[in-house]
């Protein structure tokens, strides 16, 4: 399959009439799969009402069929087509964070969306992306678009169009190249179907920000239960992993360097994931800084690109520093835990 690349400048006016956007939207309307930029990561988009289109998404990614997809919309009025109700808490969160990196779980109407897109659940995950190219594409095609991250299942999510092509070139109809994404980690997923809202996946909107709008918010126990059936993406299976095994290391940087030295003496090529503050301290085959520890938003934005860079370095084992498990750091640690398969070494 020939994979088209549509280059679109997100800063130009009248994007809905941009020939590249119109062409890509036509492919979506024909139930083809098209990767698109969002403010979080690149998504692999297909018509959420079409079994054919959704099947192509799963096939391209190699994604397990029991992992539901997020539905992307450009207009809140679209919700009435496939959602039974909009609870008050959901409405408040949409007012505060849409468009933006927040996915909300609703009870779905039967018979509208592809059952493949919702993994047969009675609920549906929906968000409105905060990216001008994505919104223009969604408005132009007029469809609810199912869009998981545009990578091979289990690998680091793509924050640049080149990442999509590295994984999926020849497997999908095209990529809309709208430049590098901003937030870097996927959206927060929150369930608003029953009483107090429940976070199913930490992401670009923090627990603290959510609670400032709707009061008390819970975190779902399934975040720690790998056997639970997922109600939202990113809750099951190893995700975001580089090619080499990744280990999180809790303790001082001297302890991490000791682990590196031991593996180097064993003849392994070793990588270290750190931040700008500690970049000069470590001695390994490949030391990569992932933003600034004093500004965790920079770590989130660079995390997946950094994980992918270890693949180019052909390292055989990677040790990563850990981060404060609060605010956006909660999302960073969630992704690192997934990438490492929960492998943690403590001093």
CA pair distance 108, 307, nearest whole angstrom: 36
Q: Is residue 72 a known part of a binding site?
A: yes
CA pair distance 227, 158, nearest whole angstrom: 26
Q: Is residue 147 a known part of a binding site?
A: yes
Q: Is residue 123 a known part of a binding site?
A: yes
Q: Is residue 127 a known part of a binding site?
A: yes
Helices and strands in the chain: count of H runs, count of E runs: 10, 16
Q: Is residue 308 a known part of a binding site?
A: no
Helix (H) or strand (E) holding 19: helix 19-29
Q: Using an 8 Å Cβ cutoff, are 127 and 189 in contact?
A: no
Which pair of tokens denotes residue 111? 């018979």
Q: Is residue 67 a known part of a binding site?
A: yes
The burial class, CB within 10 Å (0-12 / 13-18 / 19+), for 77 is: exposed
Q: Using an 8 Å Cβ cutoff, are 256 and 270 in contact?
A: no
Q: Is residue 125 a known part of a binding site?
A: no
Q: Is residue 50 a known part of a binding site?
A: no
Q: Is residue 63 a known part of a binding site?
A: yes
322: left (phi over 0), alpha (psi -120 to 50) or beta: beta
Q: Is residue 278 a known part of a binding site?
A: no
| Residues making up the binding site | 40, 63, 67, 72, 123, 127, 147, 149, 157, 187, 201, 240
Residues at the binding site for L-threonine are 40, 72, 127, 147, 187
Annotated binding site for ATP: 63, 67, 123, 149, 157, 201, 240
């Amino acid at each position: 399959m020939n994979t088209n690349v549509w280059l679109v400048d997100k800063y130009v006016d009248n994007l809905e009439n941009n020939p590249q956007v119109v062409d890509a939207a036509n492919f979506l309307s024909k139930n083809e799969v098209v990767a698109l930029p969002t403010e979080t990561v690149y998504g692999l988009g297909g018509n959420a009402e079409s079994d054919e289109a959704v099947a192509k998404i799963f096939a391209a990614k190699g994604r397990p069929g029991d992992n539901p997809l997020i539905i992307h919309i450009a207009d809140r009025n679209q919700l009435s087509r496939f959602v039974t109700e909009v609870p008050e808490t959901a409405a408040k969160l949409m007012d505060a964070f849409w468009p933006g990196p927040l996915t909300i779980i609703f009870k779905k109407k039967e018979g509208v969306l592809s059952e493949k897109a919702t993994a047969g659940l009675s609920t549906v995950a929906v968000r409105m992306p905060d990216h001008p190219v994505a919104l223009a594409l969604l408005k132009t095609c007029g469809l609810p678009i199912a869009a998981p991250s545009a990578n091979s299942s289990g690998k680091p999510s793509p924050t640049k169009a080149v990442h999509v092509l590295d994984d999926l070139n020849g497997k999908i109809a095209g990529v809309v190249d709208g430049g590098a994404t901003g937030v870097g980690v996927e959206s927060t997923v929150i369930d608003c179907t029953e009483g107090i809202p429940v976070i199913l996946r930490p992401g670009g909107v923090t627990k603290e920000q959510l609670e400032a709008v709707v009061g008390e918010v819970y975190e779902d126990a399934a975040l720690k239960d790998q056997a639970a059936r997922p109600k939202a993406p990113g809750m099951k299976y190893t995700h975001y992993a580089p090619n080499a095994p990744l280990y999180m290391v809790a303790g001082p940087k001297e302890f991490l360097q000791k682990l590196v030295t031991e593996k180097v003496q064993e003849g392994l090529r070793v990588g270290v994931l750190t931040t700008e503050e500690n970049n000069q301290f470590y001695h390994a085959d490949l030391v990569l800084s992932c933003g600034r520890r004093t500004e965790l938003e920079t770590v989130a934005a660079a995390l997946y690109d950094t994980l992918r860079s270890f693949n180019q370095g052909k390292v055989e084992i990677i040790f990563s520093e850990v981060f404060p498990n609060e605010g956006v750091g909660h999302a960073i640690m969630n992704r690192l835990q997934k990438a490492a398969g929960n492998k943690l070494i403590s001093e």
